[in-house]
A and B are shown apart, each in its own frame.
Chain A
Amino acid sequence: MAYKRNIDRLPIIPAGAKEHNVTCHYCIVGCGYTAYTWPLKTQGTTDRNWIGEDLSKQQATDTEAWYAPSMYNVVKQDGKDVHLVIKPDVNCDVNSGLGSIRGARMAENRRSDVTGTQRQRLTEPLVWRYGTWQPTSWDDALDLVARVTAKVIDKDNENDLYVSMFDHGGSAGGYENTWGTGKLYFESMKVKHCRIHNRPAYMSEVHSSRDMGVDELNYNYADYEVTDTIFLVGTNPMECQTNLFLNHMVKGMQNGARVVISDPRRTVTVDSCEQVAGAENVLHLPITTGSDVALHNTLFTYIADQGWADADFIAASTFQGDVAVAADSAYPAALGSYEAARAACKMSLAEGAAATGLTEAQIIQAAEWIAKPKDDGSRRKCVTGYEKGIIWGNDNYRAIGSLLNIGLATGNVGREGGGVCRLGGHQEGYYRPSDAHVGRPAPYIDQMIIAGGGKVHHIWANDHFKTTLNASEFKRVYNRRSNMVKEAMDARAGATREEMIDAIVGAINAGGLFVVDVDIIHSQIGQAAHVILPAVESGEMNLTSMNGERRLRLTEKYMDAPGSAKPDCMIAAGLAQALERVLREEGRTEYADQFKGYDWATEEDAFMDGYNKGNPEVTYDRLRAMGNNGVLEPVTGFADGKLTGTNRLYEDGVFTRHGREDGKALFCMGEWRGWQAAGKAQQQASHRFLINNGRANMNWQNWFLDQGNEFVMDRFPVPFIQINPDDMAELGLKAGDMVEVHNDVGATQALVYPEPSARPNETFMIFGAPNGAQGNIVNAGVNELILPNYKHTWANIRKISDATPASAAVSYKSWEVEL
């Protein structure tokens, strides 16, 4: 039976309730919300309330005067219980009052002692003692971390300290927290062995775009509303950037834009575009998985051959000559001029059709919609959005580079209705000292850990167990190595701190790994940790981030942290101070001095120490005044009480992201070369099913919280795998059956969901689930710059059991609307 809250009345927000600016911290879109709080024993009435409406009447469609039970909770504020409502802001340009299935549950996904939500949140530091985790004070926990860490690091030699740290905004990221961790590991230390939350090394996901001179977030969302064509590649915005789709792409289609979607799968986005624009204005290109470079190069060749390129733009804004950057171990393709790229990427329609599985007519139609001048001779505007389908797909560098070639050739970067941008996952919020010392290609951390590398591992809101590749082996090794330390600690229960440190150091010198996990919940990799430090999320601290159009906002703190949890920047500061003290005690004075400069009292101090130093116009007060519409980065000044920003990058036709003084964009000279990553072709040859994988509307980006949310877990008790019904029949599977998905590198489990639009032998499984990690079956193959190829995995499928009662109760109907 569907989960029901049985809430049939909610407290009414009174007039005069406190209001706080909130940017939804779940996805990149960063929708504006308002958090209302008011004292527990007061409430509004139907005729006297926050909005001045008569609430004794039914409210109309799209009303501002309603909120769902998921938007309500009771939380602590300054130590007192208060009512909390977090509802979408109709005045925010990003979402115009729309919520999503993720963001509109923000309130419900806060920790509450009163309503019992999110009891899984960590509240106190935990230290491994007496065979389990024991709560302790910050001083005690940080002292242990600092003393063990100090044993393995030294001035100019920090290679035995491995660090996994998020680089994003939103969630618990943001400028304050990336700065806190960045200052510690890249300024006080120069840690080389580090990785990012969703990938096994420390690098950009869009190297080629940056190397070509183009920042990956170069437009603003309104560009979708005024364009002629929306070109979506390996992205599913209706599910994953919901209100970007609903509030901007839909408006574009209503204004007449056509849509081209390159995706091996018929996603909900395809269906929704057909609903809005009419099927005749939507072109879905169901390419053979992994053939993106072939499609892009064929489109580029055809567009150029037709004379549809923007010659003036190419002459004025792109590199003239031949090769500007040669291919080498750091550059997986040469970069150069338009003509050089034409020569390198040349692909006929016949070759393109053969590689992509499309017809020549489909490719021609796409090219016409993207680039053919209109009947009156005016240029066609096209905005391009891409995401994990090519970022985590085959041949990342060339796939993105070849796509950007099309945007540059048609003059669609830096112009109204244009842009070639990633659609993004989290918000951004990166402000750190240089990472140049990490090197390029960056060290492949997860494989190094498997090979025995590292002695101490600091983890900041990463969960490798759910989001790495080759995860089966990673978990086996990680558990074994961290257990060696646990056993050593258990064997010395009752020992003094000095004796315990000796025991730990003995274990790590024998191949063990000492693990420190900073997170908001007790994560899966956290099960291996020896010290666990509780962090806070946006709203439990003040936090600044920018969204997918570079819109910078301050989310104001509206509730207390759970227990003694702290912002990551403050935890980093505490750790730096503990290290300084320990190093000084040990007489390592010069090294200790490197850890000075963390005397922050609040996250605002961290903001001023970091982001504000580079952007002196930007302060908390000014951001607060800019409200939920904020300002588009880069911020250019402050006038008339307002921050001024940059509506669109590169409007002057000068490209800078690569750091070239000439300001000229480069084209990518990457020919199509089939499977790039090691082991993909072999795995494909020896397994029946493609296990394509990705995100789903309901629970991506917030699944760590949603594993404790009834509404979500009731819908999908186990991660689903969508399979064609004929394939199901052949395997003897029914909807809801539990299957094992297994191959040469591992196995995982999933719930069978029939999907008539799935192609035979091509399945889709949800990525990053807590109870069925798709990464278990992804092999270790990466690109030259260690970008993982999660998307290309093949496996066999066998039934484990009939549907469990929970799985039998859910709906297995199609996701496509029927109007």
Chain B
Amino acid sequence: MKCNRLVDVGRRQFLRGGVLGVAGAAAATVLPAGQAQAQQARAMVDYPSNRLGNIADLVVNEPMDIGYPDADSPGILLKIGSPVEGGAGPDGDIVAYSVLCPHKGYYMSYHAADKTLNCPGHFSRFDCEKGGQQVWGHATQNLPQFTLRVDDKGDIYAMGADELIYGRLSNVLEG
């Protein structure tokens, strides 16, 4: 228990410390600044298709840290162990979520015993087996879930998100 809290504090500081031009798994489809086309946003955000990992990397009920749509947006990739709605892969049980709480953006931790994400900020919690539904809490939206595609090599790609990610007014950051 304590252990998770400590991890969270570390991650929170990291985020607060302001971020992170680091090249991560993500290459966002943002146009270079200054181009005229940058003014012409499309009706929908174009999400990158990023490889998050391979099925072989996943252990049941042990989340893997990911960043999507870019490294500054932390999430988890998780093989739940039983089929869930929205689950990808041959067993229909692979899901991915943002782990920034949509209330005030605290970094959540995974509780394997009941497969929830839990927020140290003000104690909201979200059900990873129910599409990220807020079980109880202060957020005014359910947790952003990343749409997944698994290819025949077992590589897992994220394709998009279904709610606005905390801390950005566009899920794909725009210049």
Contact = CB atoms under 8 A, between A and B. Distances in A.
A4 B160 contact: no
A437 interface: no
A61 B72 CA distance: 12
Interface stretch (A542-550, A679-687, A795-803, A808-816): A808-816
Given A8-B160, A818-B114, A61 B104 contact: yes
Contacts of B170: 8-10
B131 interface: yes
Contact of A819 (B1, B130, B141): B1
- Pick the most buried of B30, B111, B113, B123: most chain A CB atoms within 10 A of its CB: B123
A7 B163 contact: yes
B135 A813 contact: yes
A62 B142 CA distance: 18
Given A8-B47, A104-B140, 5 more contacts: A4-B145, A5-B163, A61-B167, A811-B133, A815-B136
A5 B138 contact: no
A9 B123 contact: no
A447 interface: no
Interface in B82-117: 85-86, 100, 102-107, 109, 111, 113-114, 116
Interface in B124-175: 124-125, 127, 129-143, 145, 160-164, 166-175
A98 B104 contact: yes
B17 to A, nearest CB: 8
B86 A1 contact: yes
A60 B15 CA distance: 6
12 contacts: A4-B163, A10-B170, A55-B168, A57-B19, A58-B15, A60-B167, A61-B104, A104-B140, A697-B137, A697-B138, A714-B133, A819-B118
A813 B162 CA distance: 22
B4 interface: yes
Q: How large is the interface on A (under 10, 10 to 19, 20 to 34, 35 or more residues)?
A: 35 or more
Contact of A3 (B124, B142, B167): B142
A66 interface: yes
A105 B118 CA distance: 22
B36 interface: no
Contact of A61 (B30, B106, B143, B169): B106
B44 interface: yes
A69 interface: yes
B50 interface: no
A1 B163 contact: no
A22 to B, nearest CB: 16
Interface in A74-111: 98-101, 104-105, 108
Interface residues of B, number: 72
B34 interface: no
A68 B167 CA distance: 9
A646 interface: no
A2 B133 contact: yes
A68 B118 contact: no
5 closest residue pairs by CB, A with B: A2-B131, A2-B133, A70-B140, A58-B72, A815-B136
Nearest to B21: A57
B44 A8 contact: yes
Contacts of B77: none
B25 interface: no
Given A1-B131, A813-B127, A99 B162 contact: no
B138 A100 contact: yes
Contact of A811 (B5, B111, B135): B135
A701 to B, nearest CB: 15
Contacts of B109: 819
Contact of B73 (A12, A46, A58): A58
A229 B129 CA distance: 40
A637 B149 CA distance: 66
Contacts of B100: 61
Given A5-B163, A101-B139, A818 B169 contact: no
Contact of A59 (B118, B167, B175): B167
A101 B137 contact: yes
B102 A68 contact: yes
Interface in A9-54: 9-10, 12, 46
- Pick the most buried of A7, A275, A818: most chain B CB atoms within 10 A of its CB: A818
A10 B172 CA distance: 12
A635 interface: no
A663 to B, nearest CB: 42
B130 A810 contact: yes
A819 B135 contact: no
A496 interface: no
A71 B104 CA distance: 13
A102 to B, nearest CB: 9
A6 interface: yes
